Structure 1
Amino acid sequence: MVLVLPAGEPFSVRRPTRVSRAAVQPLAKSLGRAGAPEGLLVHVVRYRNRGWNGPDAHPSADAEWAVDEVVRRYGDVPVCLAGYGMGGRAALRAAGHPAVNSVLAMAPWLPEDDTAETAEPVRQLVGRRVLIVHGTNDTRTDPELSFRLAERAKKANRDTCRFEVHSDGHALRQHHAEVLALATDFVMGSLLSRAYSRPVADALAAPPPLGLRMPLAAGFGRSLRP
């Protein structure tokens, strides 16, 4: 099961927009097509409201509820949390649920104050496969913040890697096909025990900072097609 977590806003109790859900539909459809022959299901999570809302961390709580629902409906199945923007932060935060085996965080929105007292937690990532993807020209969510989080996560969990999409922005549109191919490769390898592509396997095995600043090559995924 893949639970896709859309983006949102720092503070808001208004209902989520269709735009945020539509933005992650290409990812959901790509993963669904790739994994359908092996029984993979993909659902986009519908948040209660569109804001993170400080310590309430509503999207993270909604993600945990959604994983509980997966377990209730389908039993003991592995779950990947795949989030974009604020959804990326929610995916990372909710990874401690026992059913979660992997996390995909794309252009994650993270707090700028990551001092010891307020740093985003990483202990919940232990035992999970973690992939962070960020455009180097992202002006909405700082890629250096995701790098710093990945550094801390790697110390707690060696199965952590991060890819940089050079010259791409927050929406990851310039190299959209490559990003979807990378996401699919990671999720299929994490949930369905397929072999990771060489770049993903190398990124997971490489020590920091190499495995945390892995460039996403132009044309990634084309050589993976039959």
Structure 2
Amino acid sequence: MTSHGPFAVVLVLPGGTDASREPFSWRSPSALRMYPFTASIAVRRPRRVRVRQVAYELYGWNDDAAPLAPAWAALERASTAAPGVPIHLIGHSMGGRVAAHLAADPRVHGVLALAPWWQHADWRHIHDGVRVVAMHGTADTRTYASRTEKGVAELRARGLDATYVPVPDGGHAMLDHVLDWQRAALRFVASALSDVPARSSEARGPGST
């Protein structure tokens, strides 16, 4: 890694739905919902973080876990572009489910799951070295805060650094408590960067600023 390379890679994973063969669009509500997260990270950490929002091929998870193939491809591209750099995932709803599956890969160091759709104990895919933060609105009626809390408790029992953050009266779409959701993403990235201070100093080199 050169002094011009990133110290962390963040992939932002939008939501979707359980069953749909509709092509995924950057103009879909689930994609639009995540652009503020992507943009805020890019603006706050333009030199230290490479952030990309993932686009799927289809809007639905479907019976064949359709979002996983394009998400894995995005992870491979990120790893190739920044070899050896820790990868962190931010996923909302279905994107949280995608993140759990991608976090089976040892190149993934962190997951921020926002109102995740952890349908079938998807958190069990996450490997033991991943730091997990899971936020869920207590008023969410599309995915379940109780299931997220259960998943985090199971991860903690396995020895992972896992934290559950309830959002009181928060809904699924994250349109309430907006600053809480946004700040959580920025804190997540800041914490990821705090894990690589020695590498950061080495990459800057003597006399660098």
Pick the aligned partner of 1:100 from 105, 108, 112. 108
Shift of 1:40: 0.7
- The correspondence of residues 73-222 of structure 1 with structure 2, limited to 5 A, is 73-111=81-119, 114=120, 119-193=121-195
Aligned pair count?
187
TM-score in terms of structure 1 length: 0.77
CA distance in 1: counterparts of 2:77 and 2:160, whole angstroms: 29
CA distance in 2: counterparts of 1:21 and 1:123, whole angstroms: 24
Pick the aligned partner of 2:31 from 1, 12, 21. 21
Task: Say what the alpha-carbon RMSD is for the aligned residues.
Answer: 1.8
| Partner secondary structure for residue 141 of structure 2 | coil
Number of the residue aligned with 2:45: 35
Looking at secondary structure, tell me which structure has more helix per residue: 1
Number of the residue aligned with 1:52: 61
**Structure 1 range deviating more: 152-161 or 42-51:** 152-161
Please tell me whether the aligned partners of residues 2 and 40 of structure 1 are also in contact (alpha carbons under 8 angstroms). Answer: yes
CA distance in 2: counterparts of 1:159 and 1:135, whole angstroms: 21
Please tell me whether the aligned partners of residues 17 and 61 of structure 2 are also in contact (alpha carbons under 8 angstroms). Answer: yes
Identity of aligned residues (%): 33
CA deviations 1:61-104 (Å, max 9, x no partner) are 32222111111222221111110010011111110222211001
Please tell me whether the aligned partners of residues 16 and 47 of structure 1 are also in contact (alpha carbons under 8 angstroms). Answer: yes
Q: Larger relative CO (CA 8 A, sep 6+): 1 or 2?
A: 2
Please tell me whether the aligned partners of residues 125 and 153 of structure 1 are also in contact (alpha carbons under 8 angstroms). Answer: no
Amino acid at match of 2:57: R
CA distance in 2: counterparts of 1:59 and 1:93, whole angstroms: 11
Please tell me whether the aligned partners of residues 106 and 127 of structure 2 are also in contact (alpha carbons under 8 angstroms). Answer: no
- Closer, same or farther: CA 124–178 of 1 in aligned 2, 3 Å: closer
**Structure 1 range deviating more: 131-140 or 16-25:** 16-25
| Partner secondary structure for residue 150 of structure 1 | helix
In structure 1, list runs of 5 or more residues that go unmatched: 196-226
Moved over 6 A (4+): none
- The correspondence of residues 52-71 of structure 1 with structure 2, limited to 5 A, is 52-54=61-63, 56-71=64-79
